[in-house]
Amino acid sequence: MKTTTNQTHGPVPSQPGPGTREAVLPELRPSWWETGVRARAAAGLVGVFTELPGLVVRALRVAWRADRLRTVTVAAATLASGVLAAFGLLATQRVLIELFAGGPTPDRVRAALPALVWLAAATAVRGGLGLVVGYALNGLTPRVHLVVERELFEHTTAVELKAFDDDSFAEGMERATRGTEAAIELVQNTMNLLAGIVSVLAVTAAVVTIHPLLLLALLVATVPTAYAALRAGHVKFQSYLASSTRRRRQWVLRQLMADRVSAAELRSYGLRGFLLGLYDRVMGAQTAVELKVARRVTTTTSVGAAVGGIALTGVYLLLGMLLLDGRIPLAAAATCVIAVQAAQRSLAQVTFQVDRVYTSGQFFNEYVRFLATADGYLPLPPPGSADRGARPAPEGLRELSVHEVTLRYPDRDRPAVDQVSLTIRTGETIALVGENGSGKSTLAAMIAGLREPTGGTIHWNGQPYAGWDSDGLRRNIAVALQEHHKWPFSAATNIAMGDVDSTTDLARIEAAATMAVAHDMISDLPHGYDTLLDRTFKDGQDLSGGQWQRITAARAFLRDAPLLIMDEPSSALDPRAEDALFRALRGRQGRKTTILITHRLANITHADRIFILDRGALVEAGTHAELMAAGGIYSQLFTLQAAGYRSAPPAHG
Ligand SMILES: Nc1ncnc2c1ncn2[C@@H]1O[C@H](COP(=O)(O)OP(=O)(O)OP(=O)(O)O)[C@@H](O)[C@H]1O
Ligand SMILES: [Mg+2]
């Protein structure tokens, strides 16, 4: 394809660019948001109509769950509106019969009056029902959104942590979030579809009442156009799919040419001509495809319209013959003409909604599928079952024993924790030490009840974790995670979240903050403990890495839990804060149990026992003195670190 030159904004050198087009801009992965279109293009018309009833039922179920009254209102008003449409047609016929009768005009008008009144009443009530449907639908959609989205979050917050290690789970979640909007669309489109179908049926019923033969006329006049509309829709979906790769490339190119992050390199390397050239090629191909589609769609709809027009002529001829034969009265013929027009309108609505129900239904299916996946990740027994609550919650900690515990992450050959056994007694402070990736955080997460071992068991007071109520167990454990979260709430709330179940007074929060060396720092913030810790909000502030770490430690201290796990609590702290934090931790020793993970070995020399992990396995254990005497990994690491502090700075020059 030719690279065109842009004349309006300065010359653009025509650059072929390195490599082939495909090498320069490789194909992107199919986007999840194309799901509906993909499915629609692949399904074909038969597939669409096979799946449609199921989707309609699904939509009605969601609507029913969200708001019964409004769902019933919409359904009843739609049905009533259809009945009135049929009634209106019959009244029209009556009016026409009276008007076409013999006699003086005033008499004829007078005779037609009752039917006219009926017609007017039917039209007015239909209008009113339309308002009722609109009103009820407007009230229904936010409730559908609420029900569907809440159900999603009920699942995402209940699934076990390991679900988040599963790529397909994350992907499914992304699609499912789209599904909540799709639920609204599905409900709305379904209601519109049903309204269209009801109108078509109503018109059909009225026509059959007038004369059965007219049904044939009606079908002949409407079906070709409707079929053409559906076909044209199919062509559009297929072409969209065929050009989706280009569309995604286009999207990337737009980003590259208009984004801030690429702006500097675009200029420094003179990439303008190269990128515009790529854009022209992609766009050229896209335009050609779109023109081709436009031609096909126009042809299909034209053929449909032509066939429909010919059929309509046939219908009028048939009407004329029936009239001449005296088999139907003039009024019936005139009503039939009106009915055909009404049917065409309703059928156009139906064909339009069929595609919409189908595509939004695909997105909603993704949502339903995700909930099923998430169900598989729910901890056992599932919430609400009779078994729940039967398991007790532990009262304090006497002994925690880890027995040959192994954890292998999905897609990893080597276990992150390999057959580790250790026992911790109440009041002990123990430390986990090891190089990066040796499995310390993973072991801590299992002890914290956040991850389930793939092998071995952990016992709390002699009873396996599975035997305890998991929420009750976790209430006995406070954890400061290595990858702590910065919650977008005030400083006070950020700390109070460490113990959301009990009412937290400020004195308790301040005490926890003081232990974590966070009190002075928080007091210095513009609004003290009420300072919002997120810059995306008005009046929000952000903290430094070390300040955040103090908040995290305070959160863990707030719940004076029988077991406290601190994973790298001081990695970002300054020396003074670090010293204060570990002194506060020492206050627990002999009273409550603490598990410390740190690379700064000077902080754990006081620990009752130190466990050394190497590639997931427990390789050494003992007190500081014992381990130093043994001369193993610990003593090497400790000596190395200590040397760094002792040695004088190297002389320069
Ligand atoms: N969610 C995960 N999915 C897959 N692999 C993981 C995951 N988390 C950790 N790993 C892997 O498990 C191993 C142990 O990780 P872990 O975080 O337990 O190490 P660590 O001893 O805490 O290291 P560090 O000192 O860097 O904190 C590493 O090889 C890591 O790559
Ligand atoms: Mg870690």
**Of the residues 406, 418, 440, which should be mutated to test ligand 1's pocket, given the most ligand atoms within 8 Å of the CB?**
440
Q: Contact 287/247 with Cβ under 8 angstroms?
A: no
Positive or negative, the CA dihedral 281, 283, 285, 288 is negative
The residue whose CA has the least distance to atom 29 of ligand 1 is: 437
Task: Retrieve residue 53's tokens.
Answer: 């009833």
State yes or no: pLDDT of 577 exceeds 50: yes
Q: Give the C-alpha separation, 80 to 302, whole Å.
A: 35
Q: Are 572 and 545 in contact (CB under 8 A)?
A: yes
pLDDT level of residue 604 (50, 70, 90 thresholds): very high
Provide the 3-class DSSP secondary structure of residue 554: helix
Best of 414, 418, 442, 596 for a ligand 1 pocket test (most atoms within 8 Å of beta carbon):
442
Residues sharing a CB contact under 8 Å with residue 66, sequence separation 6 or more, in sequence order: 140, 143, 144, 146, 147, 148
Kindly tell me if the per-residue pLDDT of 16 is higher than 70: no
Q: Distance between CA atoms of 291 and 302, rounded to whole angstroms?
A: 16
Starting from the CA of residue 445, give the closest ligand.
1
CA-to-CA distance for 359 and 43, rounded, in angstroms?
Answer: 11
**pLDDT at position 652 over 50:** yes
Q: What is the pLDDT of residues 256-305, one digit of tens each?
A: 898 888 888 888 888 898 889 888 888 887 788 788 878 888 888 888 88
Q: How far apart are CA 558 and CA 81, in angstroms?
A: 62
- Say yes or no to pLDDT of 640 above 80: yes
Cα–chain-centroid distance for residue 522?
36
Q: Is the pLDDT of residue 38 over 90?
A: no
The 10 Å Cβ neighbour count of residue 512 is 26
User: Is any ligand 1 atom within 6 A of the Cβ of residue 409?
Assistant: yes
Residue type at 107? D
Closest CA to 218 of 344, 95, 317, 385: 344
Can you read off the two tokens belonging to residue 336?
Answer: 């039939």
Between the CA of 192 and the centroid of ligand 2 the distance, in Å, is: 55
Helices (H), 377-450: 440-447
Residue 386 is predicted with a pLDDT of: 52
pLDDT digits (tens, 9 = 90+) for 512-522: 999 999 999 99
Residue 632 pLDDT exceeds 90: yes
Higher pLDDT, 150 or 240: 150
User: Ligand 1 within 6 A of 414 CB?
Assistant: no
Structure tokens at 216: 């044939």
**Neighbouring-strand partners of residue 417:** 407
- Closest ligand by atom to 437 CA: 1
What average pLDDT is seen over the chain? Answer: 85
pLDDT tens figures, 533-569: 988 788 888 899 999 999 999 999 998 899 999 999 9
Mean pLDDT of 56-74: 91
Q: Which of 448, 416, 450, 449 is nearest to 434 (CA)?
A: 416
Q: Percent of the chain at pLDDT above 70?
A: 91
Give the confidence band of 10 by pLDDT, cuts at 50, 70, 90.
low
54 touches ligand 1 (CB under 6 Å): no
3-state secondary structure (DSSP) of residue 381: coil
Query: At residue 450, does pLDDT exceed 70?
Result: yes
DSSP-derived secondary structure letter, 649: P
- Ligand 1 centroid – CA 442 distance (Å): 6
Q: What is the pLDDT of residue 8?
A: 45
What SS3 state is found at 488?
Answer: coil
Read off the tokens for 462: 């002699």
| Per-residue model confidence as pLDDT tens digits over 144-153 | 999 999 999 9
Residue 476, exposed/middle/buried by CB under 10 A (0-12, 13-18, 19+)?
A: buried
Among 407, 418, 436, 619, residue to substitute to test ligand 1 (most atoms within 8 Å of Cβ): 436
Single out the residue of 601, 600, 510, 591 nearest to residue 557, CA to CA: 510
Residues 470-485, mean pLDDT to the nearest whole number: 90
What pTM, to 2 d.p., does this model score? 0.74
User: Residue 25 — very low, low, confident or very high, per pLDDT cuts 50/70/90?
Assistant: low
Contact assessment for residue 244 and residue 35, using Cβ atoms and an 8 Å cutoff: no
Who has greater pLDDT, 450 or 48?
450
Nearest protein Cα to ligand 1, atom 5: 409
Distance 217 CA to ligand 1 centre (A): 73
Spacing, Cα 567 to ligand 2 middle (Å) = 7
Is the model more confident about 609 or about 317? 609
Which token pair is 272?
């303008």
**Atom of ligand 1 lying closest to residue 410 CA:** 4
In short, whether 440's Cβ falls inside 6 Å of ligand 1 is yes
Q: Is the pLDDT of residue 425 over 80?
A: yes
Instruction: Specify the ligand 1 atom closest to the Cα of 445.
Output: 18
Query: What values do phi and psi take at 397, rounded to 5?
Result: -125, 125
Tokens of 232: 């044209």
